[in-house]
Structure 1
Amino acid sequence: MTDAGPRQAAGADLRSQASPDFRRNLWTFGVGTLGRDGVYTLVAFYLVVYLTDVLDVPSATMWWISAVMLIVRLGDAFLDPVIGALVDSSRSRWGQFKPWLAGGGVVSAVATVLLFTDFGLSGSAFVVAFGVILLVWGIAWSAHDLGYWGMLPALSLNPSERERLAATAKTFASVGQFAVVSGAPIVVAVLAGTEGGSPASWQLFAVIAVTVMVALMAVTFVGVRERRDIDLDGAHTDLRQLARVLFRNDQLLWAAAAYLLFMLGYGTTITFGWYFFKYAYGDENVFPVFALFVGLGQIAGLMTFPLVRKRWPRGRIYTWSTVIIVIAYAAFVAAPMKLAILGALAFVMFFLASWIMLLMLVFQADTIEYGQWKLGRRNNAVTFALQPFINKTSAAMNTWIISATIILAGINDADTAAEVTAGGIRLMKFSMLVLPAILIALAYLVWRARFRVDEAEHARIVAELAARGSFVEDSHWER
């Protein structure tokens, strides 16, 4: 009891002190996700395009494929917390996270190439083979995604450092994402010598993408140093404890609900891009230029976020970002088909969306200390297991929305914009712009009504945990 005062002071110091290897970790951690996010974007954004416009999968089969993608990704998503518990329970000479980063990265690299391989199958054989490969890809992706993002809260308790680590990682992620979004159509066309590419050129592009991914993940594996002066390791977690960690950490659940709604809207809009420019705008060759506006907007947002955080609290940033994004969506619906106007609106939308994604990441990280304070145990990977769960669930729903829309709108059976009716274009615009705006607004309302761990509350929680001695190194790791 007599040392409570010094321990509370120590808690404040932990939130303000610089981590020993922060500068090293800032870059070696961040660069590790450039290739990862490039590969994820290739699968999330172009797999449906590859199926519909390169392999020319019939609409009847695409209905089955869209159902398989939805079921497999949702089922895989529900495995993520279990994988998170395994990560938190791991002990090795390389730490909790790096073995999962390495193993999952290699397996998902192989599975990615297989997803973009034409085996000459059709009908039910094609659907089954595709479903098995997608399931393997999803489980392996969870392993290294949890290994990567679960590492973030183990590198620092300092909120400013966490935000900079997240901002740097998300900046590298955006470079990877939009290098693939804008570069893939150009590269596959050049490799194949024909517009839209060929199965072989898409497969070769996948090989290049996963090679970059594995190489940059190796930089993180070798370069990142976790903190060892204080105990930020996750606790051993069995299935009973897993359920308790997930369902009794109410702030984690509300942060996850808001993030899921946001990603449903954000992901649906960006994944429709190629179809919009081919069938509504009338020229898919313009899409890489439009994607450049999107990419520059997101990267600029991530780079300016630390400056904005010095002036505004998180809540104010989230509020105004949401308001302006919804207004930009309304303007996009009514805008003429002029690339400069559409590009400018996209720049604004994704500039501000990058701030919201960073905030969601930090909100989720802060619920780790909240869960430790409330439940008496620290779970880094289990907490961050909800991030791939959200990404996969939203991607599954994005894919289903897009697949259903392009079939119902007559786009899957069309070769040119002239073959799509005005009603079909209106349906695509609704799914791409109106529905996402509603979902993004709902995400904000959920966060506003239910999330309570702001900067002041997090500071109070860390101080109380320090007073309990919760961050004292317990030497339970094999060093």
Structure 2
Amino acid sequence: MQYRQKEGIFLKNELLKNKDYFRRNKWVYSLGGIGRDLAYTLYTSFLLTFILYTKNVTDGQFAAISIIMIICRIWDGINDPIMGGIIENTRTKFGKFKPWIFIGVLTNSVVLVLMYTINLEGSAFVIAFAFLYILWDLTYTMNDIAYWSMVPALSSEPRQRDVITSMANLFAGLGTILANLLIPILTVGSGAIGNSAVTGYKVVSIVIAISFIGCQMFVCAGVKEKPLPKTTEAAEKIGIKKMVKIIFNNKQVLWTSLILLFASMTSALLTAFGTNYIYLSYGYEGSNTTLFVVAYGAASGLTFLIYPQLTKKFTRNQIIKMSFALLIVGYIAFMLSETFIKNQDIAYYVLCLEALFIGIGGALFYLIAAILLANTVEYNELMTGERNEALIFSVRPFMSKMSSSLQQLIIMVVYLAIGLTDITNQISEAENASISNPEVWTEGYKTAYIESVLSDATDGMTFALRAVMAFLPIVFMGIGVLITMKKYKIDEKEYQRILTELEKRKAE
């Protein structure tokens, strides 16, 4: 009897301790994502804009830069499972995730600043770009896979995992919103630091690199991982062949990887073309993108807040169907309003309202895709006896990079087809002249010059951008939804069955 009482007290204390860890982890882990996504958004969403509007590039050089980005992202994505295996085999007193989070953030921040501060043009810039781009991908992968691989290690409770995933995506979305909100204002138009995009991007890159380091140090210092069991510490090292076997023998991981790919493509194209579309349609002023970004970002933030409540009333498949419907409504309205509303002010506000619908639809689908992947960890444990979180979660950044590669290919083809560099090169000359000859290139003179350049943009150019922005996301999400409905088998009931079976095995 006395033994049972002591055992009961011990279990109660363990439950309270785990509850305290969960409270702390969900906030510390999630808040750490703000700086990450500030840095990630600066690099992935604004790097090409930085090049187009601060460097004078020929069509050949632009194509070379695009091809470098495509190849590097594919190659880096292939290396993701290798990095996942390295993390899986890491055993330190700081855990298996934190060392790589720490190393990755420090090295990546240095590369980030270098990319936005080197003063090179032409072929010299293309060569330097290739070198730095490879380094950025390598160092960010260290941090990215380690960070997201922590999710299953923080909790195996479905509700807690949903909360952590939702909060992490919420604060990551906040970082994305802040980046999309502030970077254009601080680099373009009347609010540009130093009256030039060149100076603006230099300062912004340094500030964001510092915030990236600070946020990830917060995670390293504050997150409490579940201790590794002794059997895991003595586990056999995982080689490349075993990594491939683990990932490709788990059919649910393979299907989920495709769902993640199409979810990423769905969300990416609106923002990929959005900045240049707004500059061409509404003027070269950073604040012109502000309300658009706020609406799109607020939709994402709202989605992450309401998702836990939606799961109480609807199944995941029902939520996916609702998200697809919202996306279709938003994009159809976008095509119609931008074509037929002639008043620019009204058209702009309608565009922002449409971004709200599109944002909710895309964010819901991507959030669910991330949760579907998380649930394959227990499925893998049931099938093989091993969890392999880092290996499975390496699928997420891998698909993100495949998505970015396809996205860059589409951007390259579209921009070269419509002749966008003819316009951006003239703006780039003005941005650099405002630094080298500020007495002549005053803010007013530069603004007037750029307005005259933008007036050369044809209706066909903006319509082509509009069509690509609307049509392709609907197709991509449609494919992703179809795969989810037909091929993904771990629904809510099946996941509970898997957890129950795993608990029975542990009790034996």
TM-score by length of 2: 0.85
1:181 aligns with 2:218: no
Work out whether residues 173 and 301 of structure 2, in 8 Å CA contact, stay in contact via their aligned partners in 1: yes
**CA displacement 1:30-50 (0-9 Å, x = unmatched):** 011101011111111110000
Aligned twin of 1:226: 225
Distance 1:220 1:97 in 2: 10
- Spell out the pairing of 1:266-277 with structure 2 (5 A cutoff): 266-277=267-278
Q: 1:436 aligns with which of 434, 456, 473?
A: 473
Q: Aligned to 2:455, what secondary structure does the other structure show?
A: helix
Aligned twin of 1:358: 367
Distance 2:208 2:329 in 1: 36
Work out whether residues 171 and 299 of structure 1, in 8 Å CA contact, stay in contact via their aligned partners in 2: yes
Aligned twin of 1:331: 333
Q: Give, in angstroms, the shift of residue 400 of structure 1.
A: 2.4
Aligned twin of 2:48: 48
Q: Aligned to 2:155, what secondary structure does the other structure show?
A: coil
Aligned residue type for 2:473: P
Identify if the C-alpha distance between structure 1 residues 55 and 192 changes in structure 2 by more than 3 Å, giving closer, same or farther: farther
1:345 aligns with 2:354: yes
Identify if the C-alpha distance between structure 1 residues 364 and 192 changes in structure 2 by more than 3 Å, giving closer, same or farther: same
When structure 1 is superposed on structure 2, of 320-329 and 451-460 the one drifting more is 320-329
Q: Give, in angstroms, the shift of residue 401 of structure 1.
A: 1.6
Aligned twin of 1:403: 412
Aligned residue type for 1:291: V
Aligned residue type for 2:242: Q
Aligned twin of 1:300: 302
Q: Give, in angstroms, the shift of residue 266 of structure 1.
A: 1.3
Work out whether residues 233 and 380 of structure 1, in 8 Å CA contact, stay in contact via their aligned partners in 2: no
Aligned residue type for 2:217: A
Aligned residue type for 1:458: Y
Higher helix share: 2
Distance 1:161 1:368 in 2: 15
- Spell out the pairing of 1:129-168 with structure 2 (5 A cutoff): 129-168=128-167
* Structure number with higher relative contact order (C-alpha < 8 Å, ≥ 6 residues apart): 1
Aligned residue type for 1:410: G
Identify if the C-alpha distance between structure 1 residues 230 and 361 changes in structure 2 by more than 3 Å, giving closer, same or farther: farther
Work out whether residues 104 and 141 of structure 1, in 8 Å CA contact, stay in contact via their aligned partners in 2: yes
Work out whether residues 268 and 401 of structure 1, in 8 Å CA contact, stay in contact via their aligned partners in 2: no
Aligned twin of 1:95: 95
Structure 2 stretches lacking a partner, 5+ long? 1-13, 425-452
Work out whether residues 70 and 400 of structure 1, in 8 Å CA contact, stay in contact via their aligned partners in 2: yes
Aligned residue type for 1:421: T
Identify if the C-alpha distance between structure 1 residues 358 and 230 changes in structure 2 by more than 3 Å, giving closer, same or farther: farther
- Spell out the pairing of 1:449-460 with structure 2 (5 A cutoff): 449-460=486-497
Dislocated runs of 4+, deviation >6 Å: 229-235
Distance 1:21 1:55 in 2: 49
1:386 aligns with 2:388: no
Aligned twin of 1:11: none
Identify if the C-alpha distance between structure 1 residues 351 and 286 changes in structure 2 by more than 3 Å, giving closer, same or farther: same
1:240 aligns with 2:241: yes
Work out whether residues 409 and 420 of structure 1, in 8 Å CA contact, stay in contact via their aligned partners in 2: no
**CA displacement 1:254-289 (0-9 Å, x = unmatched):** 011011012112111112111110113445441122
**CA displacement 1:386-429 (0-9 Å, x = unmatched):** 11111111112222222321221122212544322232222211
Q: Give, in angstroms, the shift of residue 18 of structure 1.
A: 6.4
When structure 1 is superposed on structure 2, of 102-111 and 421-430 the one drifting more is 421-430
When structure 1 is superposed on structure 2, of 311-320 and 417-426 the one drifting more is 417-426
Q: Percent identity?
A: 26
Aligned twin of 2:314: 312
Work out whether residues 18 and 158 of structure 1, in 8 Å CA contact, stay in contact via their aligned partners in 2: no
Q: Aligned to 2:313, what secondary structure does the other structure show?
A: coil
**CA displacement 1:435-468 (0-9 Å, x = unmatched):** 1111111111111110001111111112222222
Distance 1:363 1:242 in 2: 20
Aligned twin of 2:254: 253
Distance 2:228 2:385 in 1: 20
Structure 1 stretches lacking a partner, 5+ long? 1-13, 473-479
RMSD after superposition:
2.2
When structure 1 is superposed on structure 2, of 406-415 and 28-37 the one drifting more is 406-415
Aligned residue type for 2:367: L
Identify if the C-alpha distance between structure 1 residues 229 and 283 changes in structure 2 by more than 3 Å, giving closer, same or farther: closer
Q: Aligned to 1:116, what secondary structure does the other structure show?
A: helix
Q: Aligned to 1:193, what secondary structure does the other structure show?
A: helix
Work out whether residues 102 and 217 of structure 1, in 8 Å CA contact, stay in contact via their aligned partners in 2: yes
Distance 1:408 1:54 in 2: 21
Q: Give, in angstroms, the shift of residue 233 of structure 1.
A: 6.4
Aligned twin of 1:445: 482
Work out whether residues 408 and 424 of structure 1, in 8 Å CA contact, stay in contact via their aligned partners in 2: no
